[in-house]
Chain A
Amino acid sequence: MLSKPAPTSPALLAALYLEAVLPAIPLLAAHDSALVAALAGPDFAVVFSTSGGLRTRLAVRSGTATATFGPAASAQSGDIRIWFPTPAQVVRAFDGKHRPALALPLGGWFQLTQLKRLTAAGARLESLLNCRPAANSPDLALHAWGNLAVGLAAAAAWLRHHPDGPATRARLGSGVVVFSCSALPSPLWLDLTSLTTGTGPPPPAALLMATITFADLDTLLAELDHQLDAPAALGLGTLRLTGYLPLAENLGLLLLKVGALLKPN
């Protein structure tokens, strides 16, 4: 539905960055050597937090990165702790516009230099997500996969934090939507019951389920660019949708909404 866009709350945007964008670093690092190289070095962990309980912990242990957010992201001994006095400062720090942000280090003083690795990883993530690789580049699939993963995580974050989240969630239902494409590293899914996202096989025993299969990267990229004639693609078979179609359709609307928040025109 078209409407005059309301000003987006900084808290919501901060949630999208902390719970959808930052966790993409470990997700993509599992498939991208440049990200691995950026993160390489001694073990370290950093917790970014701000008011309203928004918090994300990124950890690198033995070369493997992990991300947790929300209550599970409690700071542990030795973690770097970065506190943003307001959600707006989180947005300034992570929205890619390279504006100065007020961030207060509250702990992990001796590890602060490790943040340079995270800065490098962030730059690689930004490049992977925002710069469309050439059609023959092996990075193209990762670019599509990463954008889809961030979109799904952002949809989950929106449902957790937007005031309309509960009503939207009630409309969506409580099922699992799976996105797959043989060119991608693995399928991606969003569980609307737990508001979790994941890769690989979806959680078992989901009540409602819709599976969206893109025949090729071109179709997925067209969808990510909002340039896909989806009904035509469904008829042509370049897009397949099985299961509870309204679930996929309504999630598509939410993905459009969060996409506009993260990548405003």
Chain B
Amino acid sequence: MNFSRSQSLFRRAAAVIPGGIYGHTTPAATLPGATPYYAIEGFGCRYRDLDGNTFIDFLCGYGPLVLGYHHPEVEAAATAARARGAAFNHPTPLMVELAEALVARIDFADWAVFAKNGADLTTWATMVAREATGRPKILKIRGAYHGTHAWCSPGHGGLIPEDRAHVHDFPFNDIAALEALFTRHRGQVAGLVLTPFHHPAFADSELPSPEFVATCNRLCREHGALQILDDVRCGFRLSSDGSHSVYGYTPDLSVYCKALANGHPLSAAVGRAALKPAASRVFLTGSYWNDPAPMAAALATLAIIERDAVPARLAALGERFVAGFLALGEKHGVPLRASGPPAMPYVRVADDPSFLRTQRLCAAAVAHGVFLHPHHNWFLGAAHTEADIDEALQRLDTAFHSLSS
């Protein structure tokens, strides 16, 4: 597979952009030289790169494309809103409609606010927790991603110790460690930030034990701390009403983003009525945060997710894909390990702590037109069909062959 145009453009980029491509889409985090760097267009569950290569996509833009690229209903709604204008002096009625839609859909939600990215609102949620409780401490899962802000960035540059002086972490599913943190910081914990399941990079995904979920719920209740669910990655993929219902969390605040508007830039936070006064005191705005087109896209996306029972569909497709993938591993003598819920699976070579064999496998997959990330969980989209899954598995069969030849 030829990536010469991608690489040529990257040379220009590297001259004028720090990192060439920065953040989660940097080639450095995937397989430099073995993957495309630039995309041109998407259609359904496939996209085309700058060199004209086409991929069956199992990353879905790192999550947003829950319905697939260029979904006609979503695009029609967004285009209609866009045609009326953008970035008005005021919000449009779409903002109220979307807040009402989220409040109606999510059982504990009494209000909603909107921004552009997950980090805008995970950070804001921690501020709401501090405002509501008058306490400083935030507890979070070790290795969980909540965005690029100083309190949670996985990067190292530009941070000072004070950024995290009141942020304490614990291993996912580690009840004793969580209890110890609540005990050590008794009366000081404003919020516990969780993800529905643990989906770190460079590691298997981990589902929460029922005991862990119950402990999170109990400790927040007993200590008067807010439970903040970062549902940015999972929201509306595992369940059409938020992932807390899947695992039994009782959040006070939840944050959604990726699947919310099928690729249009929008995030949302919802919360309980008792937190509305505190929420209103924590300043929240951005130049484009009232933009109507993404809100129209979100209304359409949420309606389709409900109408088409998308979470169940994603789970079924994911089971088909993971089962087929594991069978291919067995056929080719490559032991594989699958983790995470089927709608957001992650499969890697077992006994491969350095990810070297996983990287080779994913490079071979990409070379055969199936886009898999070696270090990050994958996503199924409603645009995938059974035929797409089967075609991907056929291509992966060839990829396995290429590894052994």
Contact = CB atoms under 8 A, between A and B. Distances in A.
A229 B13 CA distance: 12
A25 B202 CA distance: 38
B14 interface: yes
A172 interface: no
B33 interface: yes
> Interface residues of B toward A: which range?
20 to 34
A232 B14 contact: yes
Contact of A2 (B20, B28, B29, B159): B159
A245 B29 contact: yes
B354 interface: yes
Contacts of B22: 231
B212 interface: no
Most B CB atoms within 10 A — which of A230, A232, A236?
A232
Nearest to A3: B161
A231 B19 contact: yes
A240 B27 CA distance: 11
Interface string B19-40: 1111000111100110001000
A210 interface: yes
B302 to A, nearest CB: 35
B356 interface: yes
B321 to A, nearest CB: 25
B19 A229 contact: yes
Contact of B354 (A208, A230, A234, A237): A208
Contacts of A246: 202
B160 interface: yes
B10 interface: yes
Nearest to A238: B14
Contacts of A222: none
> Interface residues of A toward B: which range?
20 to 34
A1 B162 CA distance: 10
Interface in B157-191: 158-161
B356 A209 contact: yes
B267 interface: no
Contacts of B21: 231, 235
A242 interface: yes
A212 to B, nearest CB: 12
B159 A1 contact: yes
A234 B32 contact: yes
A187 interface: no
A245 B156 contact: no
A242 B356 contact: yes
Contact of B11 (A3, A229, A236, A249): A236
B355 A244 contact: yes
A210 B28 CA distance: 14
Contact of A235 (B37, B202, B359): B37
28 contacts: A1-B159, A2-B159, A3-B160, A3-B161, A175-B353, A175-B354, A229-B14, A229-B19, A231-B20, A231-B26, A232-B14, A232-B18, A232-B19, A234-B26, A234-B32, A235-B7, A235-B21, A235-B32, A236-B7, A236-B10, A236-B14, A241-B28, A243-B354, A243-B355, A243-B356, A244-B353, A245-B28, A245-B202
Interface of B: 7, 10-11, 13-14, 18-22, 26-29, 32-33, 37, 156, 158-161, 202, 353-356, 359, 375
